[in-house]
Structure 1
């Protein structure tokens, strides 16, 4: 949620941010009017309540006809107070509804534009020259089937399209990635968490996932609950309605959870294999910090993501995501794209976002700072999206005989083996 004070004092800044995102600027105008209406309604209600209290004092001292007359005024005033309270409630709800639709302010450093207007900040590693090695690379699904690691057919039979089973060495590889990711996170000072994957509407709304991303959310109407698309949601809501001790900041959590996404807008995209699926497991980093430290913390999250991908020996690029592709909550976002040999291009495998105080305002998470109580900043970063990491490992480390070289950092979690080998 944007700062209501900023809306009143500098609406042009918010309009410029909406324009950079390709979102409605008129929404800001509507919110400004709604704020004025709300503040007027609050003032009217408070004035009438003050009159009601004063009248109550007079009634307690009056007698006879004077008291009867004052009691009649009290009844009339009570009706006016009730009407003013209802008007205040309605005006506040209208304002909240409008403000909830306004996205976080875009960081001035973010590139302006749409999905394809990102800036490539860094490139790490060199893609393998398979032609020089004398064979054509196979895609991850063919490799996974040969290893007995991925079963799409039975996934579709049991759950439908874009579902899968990881079997044998595939399941072992996932567990190795989870353990390595968690070990790295713990080593970097994160508190490990296994959060719930079902949450109430408050958590989804507070993190911004019932806005632009609502079409990809799984909803259980009988329970009024949502399946999370990322551990970011329950981790962000963990401290909702709390005042944090600022001496303990930053609070860093690493959550492992399943992630569920309808992928409603991706029909026909990446339909083969496990790159874009309805369910996958993920290790997510989440941080609560002093807003003054948010930019530096964002760089730390990115660095930890880069270290993780580098440890898996996957060539990758770091992208500065453009303004219209940030999503509702992020002020700035960096994506890491890993090299996919069979597609001859880089594809997204991790992301980290600085959400400034936007989510904390929506979830009422504050700190008691020197200048008073104020919202903290929140940041998130994917350390390991398991399915896509498996895709990248299988394709980048495949061998001509159908085996796959295991990155050295994962070998301790796989019994010291150096290769995944085809099923006999």
Structure 2
């Protein structure tokens, strides 16, 4: 959420952000609602003050003055009763607009409509040149007994799956490797709740615009998260942090859930786009300083790249354009792993800076050393997400006989196994 004072003073800048991020929002309607809200608040304050004055004057008034004051009191009360619902309605409209105003992208973010307009920063590693006909991850996993689709889809519906045998062990190994990398780099591991109240989804910016992507538990007014970012940020909702506590760096491990409401018929083969997945997410709270946030951003990005190095997966890093960054993001890098079956680099990680967007919405304050109260900045990064990461991991390390040679870093996490092959458990 942006500061309304900033919006008033930088209306053209915010309009450009709305346009370049490709959101549908009429800023003039927000500014009009803001103006009327302030007018009504002023009127109400005046009327309430006068009501108190009249109430105090009536007992002291003369017999002649009292009827006039009583009549004025009735008129003031009627005016208040008319203004209060108007304020409630205009505030509802104002709040709804404020929740939909996007953050302003950083100057280095390229203006663009979609992923084709992202700017490649670097490529790391070389895509493998196979001297045999490689299989895709689905064929590899089915031949090795690593996944079951038919059973789960009978009782859980489309895009459901079960990792089995070596598939289950491999996901556990990858997530544990990632957790160890992050803990060694100073992050605090958290296993947070995955069922949250609406306020947590709204506070982190996933509602109202992303509501259709979330699974709702209507009986309890809860929602399943699509990332542990929601819970990690919300750990400090309504808190006042001290400057000495910063930076706070969390790594959250959780199952995640996403309806993929806008992806009907897209990426239906295999495990690229599923409704349930496991993710290790990084979240940072830092000082509200762009230089500090930039340093944290690139450290988060480096953490994710360290995991890909350990998994020996070729990848590329791209700076996302305005049409590809979300409501609250001011800067985002996408990390795309090489997937032989797609003959392309495809997104497996993202790294985002959000400024004070989430802390304002979640009412997270920061007391600086000099006593000043401000809002901290937040950042997040996908350290690993499975089963999507299994696609490049398996496809890049396959052998002609359909077995998979494990990267050295994974061997200790697979009980010393160096290869995945038929008959493995």
The separation in 2 between residues aligned to 1:228 and 1:158, in whole angstroms, is 22
Mapped to 2, the partners of 1:288 and 1:352 lie a distance apart of 14
User: Relative to structure 2, which stretch is displaced further, 218-227 or 398-407?
Assistant: 218-227
Q: How does 1:372-383 map to 2 (within 5 A)?
A: 372-383=372-383
Equivalent position of 2:81 in the other structure: 82
Does residue 247 of structure 1 match 2:229? no
138, 145, 153: which one aligns with 2:135: 138
- C-alpha deviation, 1:213, in angstroms: 2.9
Match in the other structure for 2:34: 35
Q: Deviation digits for residues 196-242 of structure 1, max 9, x if unmatched?
A: 11111111122222244333221223332211111111112221122
Scaled by the length of structure 1, the TM-score of the pair is 0.94
2:261 pairs, out of 248, 261, 264, with 264
Aligned to 1:401, what secondary structure does the other structure show? coil
**Structure 1 residue 22 and structure 2 residue 32: aligned?**
no
1:330 paired residue number = 329
CA distance in 2, matches of 1:385, 1:258: 10
* Distance in 1 separating the partners of 2:63 and 2:181: 80
Q: Which residue of structure 2 aligns with residue 392 of structure 1? A: 392
**In structure 2, how many angstroms separate the alpha carbons of the residues matched to 1:214 and 1:93?**
18
Structure 1: runs of 5+ lacking an equivalent: none
- 1: distance between equivalents of 2:136 and 2:305? 24
- SS of 2:263's equivalent in the other structure is coil
Is residue 2:320 matched to residue 1:321? yes
Match for residue 201 of structure 1 among 198, 202, 205: 198
Using the size of structure 2 for normalisation, the TM-score is 0.94
Which residue of 161, 165, 170 corresponds with 1:164? 161
Shift in Å at residue 60 of structure 1? 5.0
In structure 2, what is the equivalent of residue 225 of structure 1? Answer: 222
SS of 1:56's equivalent?
helix
How many angstroms apart in 2 are the aligned matches of 1:89 and 1:243? 28
Q: 1:286 aligns to what?
A: 283
2 CA distance for matches of 1:71 and 1:290?
A: 55
Instruction: Answer yes or no: is 1:107 the counterpart of 2:106.
Output: yes
Other structure's SS at 1:286 match: strand
Question: Is contact 1:152–1:273 with CA below 8 Å preserved after alignment?
Answer: no
Q: Give distance in 1, aligned partners of 2:298 and 2:54.
A: 60
Matched, 1:125 2:125: yes
Partner of 2:352: 353
Distance in 2 (alpha carbons) for counterparts of 1:138 and 1:212: 39
Could you tell me whether the CA contact under 8 Å between 1:20 and 1:106 is conserved in 2?
no
Unaligned runs of 5+ in 2: none
Is 1:419 the counterpart of 2:419? The answer is yes
1:309 deviates by 0.9
Q: Deviations over 1:90-120 (max 9, x none)?
A: 2222111112122121222111112220001
Task: Map Cα deviations across residues 386-422 of structure 1 (whole Å, 9 max, x no partner).
Answer: 2112112111111122211112222111112211121
Higher mean displacement: 156-165 or 45-54: 45-54
Q: Report the count of equivalent residues.
A: 420
Q: Could you tell me whether the CA contact under 8 Å between 1:211 and 1:328 is conserved in 2?
A: no
Cα deviation, residue 13, structure 1? 0.7
Could you give the per-residue CA deviations for residues 58-105 of structure 1, whole angstroms, max 9, x where no partner exists? 335446454454344333323323333332222222111112122121
**Offset of 1:380 from its aligned partner?**
0.9
| Matched position secondary structure for 1:367 | strand
Contact 1:111 1:321 in 2 (8 A): yes
SS at match of 1:282: strand
Which residue of 250, 263, 272 maps to 1:275?
Answer: 272
Query: Which one of 185, 190, 208 corresponds to residue 188 of structure 1?
Result: 185
Q: 3-state SS of the aligned residue for 2:352?
A: strand
